């Protein structure tokens, strides 16, 4: 199994669920994490990543960390300083239309969104609200482009897009697609030589559907247009994702693997969870399992079954512990 891993945690793209998978694997195998200094949950985002943001990094005796997975704005030469040169790099992408709708609910307090009532209103005259010099502008435009380290306000020429895609391809071994999460996990498991249980998960940091709003066709087109760089990244890597599945796994085997993954997930849900699914924040009984609530989104969580034996309880708890709580527990353990 591969143990040196860089995960670029792109905002609002099922990346908290992926992070839980990495946390569990790292904890089980006693791996070291590249934590933000002081144990925060972001590597001084939205600044470009620097090696010195990592707790325990020192240029004079560069310690290599196994897993780098906290929010950062990607800058490969600096990442190289903290992980082994053979590390496996991957990230996960999401359809920019859904991403924008999610950002709008989650980052409602961002400068560009705070004065509008709806996404429609914002998109009618975005430059009325959006200022390219605002420090939090990236939440409102080409968020994936920004997380990968590029300029979200860059011009969209064919040449520029080509260079950006080439740069991403040169840095990353694998790009997953959150709309095909189970297929993504099968592909990840193959590439990392992990077993099935290592990539089983319950969806974390997800919104209650009551806070999601349906979008008209006009709005969808406007979002694609406004986030053209993200759209180019997404459509390109969505295509290469399926090409890779066809080349390395094949559709039939993929179907079997996805079925096995879902069955295992169902089995774990029956073992671990009260009521088998996620619940609204006010119904979460154990406060240590309550996810952070943000913006106008209602973030769901889980209740564990009572009376589980110690070992099972530990395994189940790992699966449903929200990112911030899990991160700080691992930080305490490591330092």
Flag whether pLDDT at 296 surpasses 80: no
Which residues touch 248 (CB under 8 Å, ≥6 apart)? Answer: 187, 190
Q: If phi over 0 gives left and psi between -120 and 50 gives alpha, with beta otherwise, what is residue 142?
A: left
What is the pLDDT, as a whole number, of residue 208?
82
What is the pLDDT, as a whole number, of residue 210?
76
Q: Two tokens at 116?
A: 């509008």
What is the pLDDT, as a whole number, of residue 230?
98
Flag whether pLDDT at 118 surpasses 90: yes
- In this prediction, residues 305-330 reach a mean pLDDT of 97
What is the pLDDT, as a whole number, of residue 191?
97
What is the per-residue pLDDT across 235-245, written as a single tens digit (0 to 9) for each?
Answer: 999 999 999 99
What is the per-residue pLDDT across 177-231, written as a single tens digit (0 to 9) for each?
Answer: 999 999 999 999 999 999 999 999 999 988 887 778 889 999 999 999 999 999 9
Q: Two tokens at 164?
A: 């950006």
Q: What is the pTM of this model?
A: 0.96
Domain 5-199+214-259+323-334 -> CATH class: alpha beta
What is the pLDDT, as a whole number, of residue 110?
96
Contact call for residues 182 and 96 (beta carbons, < 8 A): no
Structure confidence at residue 297 as a pLDDT band (50, 70, 90) = confident
Burial of 125 (0-12, 13-18, 19+ CB in 10 A): exposed
């Amino acid at each position: 199994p591969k143990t040196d891993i860089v995960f670029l945690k792109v905002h609002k793209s099922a990346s908290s669920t992926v992070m839980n998978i990495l946390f569990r694997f790292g904890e089980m195998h006693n791996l070291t994490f590249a934590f933000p200094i002081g144990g925060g949950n972001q590597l001084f985002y939205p600044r470009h990543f620097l090696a010195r943001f990592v707790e325990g990094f020192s240029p004079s005796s560069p310690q290599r960390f196994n897993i780098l997975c906290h929010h950062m704005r990607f800058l490969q030469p600096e990442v190289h300083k903290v992980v082994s040169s053979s590390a496996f790099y991957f990230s996960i992408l999401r359809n920019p239309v859904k991403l924008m709708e999610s950002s709008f609910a989650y980052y409602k307090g961002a400068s560009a969104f705070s004065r509008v009532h709806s996404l429609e209103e914002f998109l009618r005259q975005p430059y009325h609200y959006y200022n390219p010099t605002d420090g939090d502008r990236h939440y409102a435009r080409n968020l994936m482009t920004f997380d990968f380290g590029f300029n979200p306000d860059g011009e969209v020429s064919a040449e520029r897009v080509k260079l950006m895609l080439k740069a991403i391809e040169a840095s990353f071994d694998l790009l997953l697609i959150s709309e095909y999460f189970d297929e993504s996990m099968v592909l990840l498991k193959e590439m990392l030589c992990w077993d099935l249980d290592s990539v089983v998960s319950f969806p974390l940091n997800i919104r209650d559907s009551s806070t999601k709003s349906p979008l008209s066709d006009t709005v969808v087109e406007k979002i694609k247009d406004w986030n053209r760089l993200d759209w180019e990244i997404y459509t390109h890597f969505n295509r290469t994702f399926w090409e890779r599945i066809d080349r390395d796994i094949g559709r039939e085997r993929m179907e079997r693997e996805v079925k096995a993954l879902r069955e295992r997930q169902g089995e774990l849900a029956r073992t671990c969870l009260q009521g088998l699914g996620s619940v609204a924040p006010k119904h979460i009984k154990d406060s240590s399992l309550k996810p952070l609530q943000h913006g106008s989104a209602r973030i769901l969580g889980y209740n564990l079954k009572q009376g589980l034996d110690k070992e099972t309880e530990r395994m189940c708890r790992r699966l449903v512990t929200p990112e911030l709580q899990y991160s700080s527990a691992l930080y305490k353990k490591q330092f």
